[in-house]
Amino acid sequence: MLIPLIPSAKINSTWRLSYGYSCCMKIIRFAFLFISVSGFAQTKILFDANKAQMCSNADWVIDADVFNLGLGSGGIMQAGQSNEANPAKTPTPAQSGITQSTPETYWDGALSAWAVDLVKLGYTVETLPYNKTITYGNTSNAQDLSNYKVFISDEPNILFSAAEKTAFMQFVQNGGGLFMIGDHTGSDRNFDGFDSPQIWNDLMNNNTVQVHPFGMSFDSTDYSQTSSNVANLPSDSCLHNAAIGNVTQIKISGGSTLTLSTSQNNSVRGLIYKTGASNSGSTNAFFARARFGTGKVAALTDSSPPDDGTGDPNDNLYFSYTGEANGNHRVLLLNTTIWLAAVETPSAVNEVNKEETAFEIYPNPVHAENLQVKINDGLLGQKLTVVSTEGRIVFAETINTNLTTIPFSEFSTGIYFLRIGEVTKKLVHLF
Ligand SMILES: [Ca+2]
Ligand SMILES: [Ca+2]
Ligand SMILES: [Ca+2]
Ligand SMILES: [Ca+2]
């Protein structure tokens, strides 16, 4: 099953309403809060397995129970042809069984670690199987993109159809988050004449909504290196997340680069670059992000960083997710997914209001006592997580009452972050 043209190193990838406000303002603000928070309660993330992401030694899926796909004519995947992963829509065992100590091997896919971490953060994950259809606004399709907040496709190997490209563009334009992961030039795993850099470029260059929408294009390049050439953007959400961590490097194992154009899209920004390149320039980016319409897009030029090293037993996989680049890949992928999934508010005022009214914690600092978390009705049903500065999740629970007690006396002293939905608060634990 090894494909010789792919280098072996590679195959691896809270309420404090002032009485000064009018009643009317309170109602408006409350209504807004309710809308923004309730929309987040069912944040679903869809992982694409529709474009031969399991072909050859790729296994860029979150879970599979059946291994029977193989190459059909024209590079499409067909059941009964071989022993490649054939992921179902819903991963098994059920994600409701995932606790903070669940290992990534709960599911069988090279992207299971990423997916299990997302469930631990409160998201729902699903797969788009090989024989399903990408649509946007088609109510008869149970997996229509409008049901999801983020679509992740790690190294698609089959061109998207014209209708699918329109669907992606409308999805992003209307607030969706698209994570485009590519690979090095010449990585055509299913021998249909197209590799993932070409496939992503085809989406951006040839679609009915807008040509060059994101201000980025994949280059025909192939690099392997560890780079610490990270943009100096202290407030960037993909690089910095108080609960998850800061991105300081990446290991590219057979990956391409991106050329960026702010004249095409003035929101585009490279975040990690090839060693020696300008870390604010328009060339040689390994990772970039942009906004389009009310949505967001991120691009990574190598399929290796999400690889957790376990999945299809017939593949050669490499533990890169936390096994390489000092754990930075996990941080980058989680920060970016959180950013892509975040429901954004139309104004800074609303942003502040949402932070203040989402939930309250007391006392803070907390000593050897229980921490009380008072939660607005709009957050009921969501997951509350407490994360240490090292990224260790020390508490996670779906919250079904307005007051939750956390036994902080059991935890070591230090700084912690409480997250519910998209709001994170900092907490200090002292003796
Ligand atoms: Ca495979
Ligand atoms: Ca399974
Ligand atoms: Ca291909
Ligand atoms: Ca795995």
Tell me the CA–centroid distance for residue 108 and ligand 4, in Å. 5
Give the ligand with the smallest distance to the CA of 58.
Answer: 1
Tell me the CA–centroid distance for residue 278 and ligand 2, in Å. 43
pLDDT of residue 179: 98
pLDDT band at 362 (very low <50, low <70, confident <90, very high): confident
pLDDT in tens, 214-273: 999 999 999 999 999 999 999 999 999 999 999 999 999 999 999 999 999 999 999 999
Tell me the CA–centroid distance for residue 89 and ligand 2, in Å. 11
Give the ligand with the smallest distance to the CA of 94.
Answer: 2
Tell me the CA–centroid distance for residue 385 and ligand 1, in Å. 34
Tell me the CA–centroid distance for residue 109 and ligand 2, in Å. 8
Tell me the CA–centroid distance for residue 393 and ligand 1, in Å. 31
Is the per-residue pLDDT at 124 higher than 70? yes
Give the ligand with the smallest distance to the CA of 104.
Answer: 4
Please answer whether residues 114 and 333 qualify as being in contact, where contact means their C-beta atoms are separated by less than 8 angstroms: yes
For residues 392-401, give the mean pLDDT. Answer: 81
Give the ligand with the smallest distance to the CA of 116.
Answer: 4
Give the ligand with the smallest distance to the CA of 2.
Answer: 1
Please answer whether residues 72 and 86 qualify as being in contact, where contact means their C-beta atoms are separated by less than 8 angstroms: no
Give the ligand with the smallest distance to the CA of 64.
Answer: 2
pLDDT of residue 34: 35
Tell me the CA–centroid distance for residue 321 and ligand 4, in Å. 10
What residues are neighbours of ligand 3 (ion), with CB under 5 Å?
157, 188, 190, 192, 194
Tell me the CA–centroid distance for residue 78 and ligand 2, in Å. 20
Please answer whether residues 143 and 131 qualify as being in contact, where contact means their C-beta atoms are separated by less than 8 angstroms: no
Tell me the CA–centroid distance for residue 117 and ligand 1, in Å. 22
Q: Which has the closest alpha carbon to 50: 86, 6, 83?
A: 86
DSSP calls for 119-163: HHTT-EEEEE-TT----SS-TT-TT-GGG-SEEEEES--SPPPHH
What residues are neighbours of ligand 4 (ion), with CB under 5 Å?
104, 112, 308, 310-311
Is the per-residue pLDDT at 123 higher than 70? yes
For residues 416-428, give the mean pLDDT. Answer: 77
Please answer whether residues 231 and 271 qualify as being in contact, where contact means their C-beta atoms are separated by less than 8 angstroms: yes
Query: Cβ of 408: how many Cβ atoms within 10 Å?
Result: 23
pLDDT of residue 12: 38
pLDDT of residue 391: 65
Phi, psi at 222, each rounded to 5°:
-145, 105
Distance set, CA 333 to CA 7, 37, 117, 118 (Å)? 23, 23, 10, 10
**Residue 235 has which token pair?**
């407030």
More confident residue, 373 or 179: 179
Is the per-residue pLDDT at 331 higher than 50? yes
Tell me the CA–centroid distance for residue 192 and ligand 3, in Å. 5
Tell me the CA–centroid distance for residue 42 and ligand 4, in Å. 24
Tell me the CA–centroid distance for residue 196 and ligand 4, in Å. 22
One-letter amino acid at 55 equals C
What residues are neighbours of ligand 1 (ion), with CB under 5 Å?
54, 59, 84, 312, 315
Q: Which residues pair with 372 in a beta bridge?
A: 362, 405
pLDDT in tens, 59-88: 999 999 999 999 999 999 999 999 999 999
Domains, the chain, in order of start with CATH, read 14-40+358-431 (2.60.40.10), 42-341 (3.40.50.880)
Please answer whether residues 336 and 29 qualify as being in contact, where contact means their C-beta atoms are separated by less than 8 angstroms: no
pLDDT of residue 40: 41
Is the per-residue pLDDT at 357 higher than 70? no
Rounded CA Rg of the chain: 22
Tell me the CA–centroid distance for residue 59 and ligand 4, in Å. 9
Please answer whether residues 386 and 211 qualify as being in contact, where contact means their C-beta atoms are separated by less than 8 angstroms: no
Give the ligand with the smallest distance to the CA of 127.
Answer: 2
* pTM (two decimals): 0.75
Tell me the CA–centroid distance for residue 161 and ligand 3, in Å. 14
Q: Is 96 left (phi over 0), alpha (psi -120 to 50) or beta?
A: alpha
Tell me the CA–centroid distance for residue 92 and ligand 2, in Å. 4
Is the per-residue pLDDT at 21 higher than 50? no
* Alpha helices per DSSP H over 216-361: 328-341, 348-358
* Alpha helices per DSSP H over 160-266: 162-173, 196-205
Q: Which residues pair with 387 in a beta bridge?
A: 393, 417
Tell me the CA–centroid distance for residue 57 and ligand 1, in Å. 4
Tell me the CA–centroid distance for residue 150 and ligand 3, in Å. 23
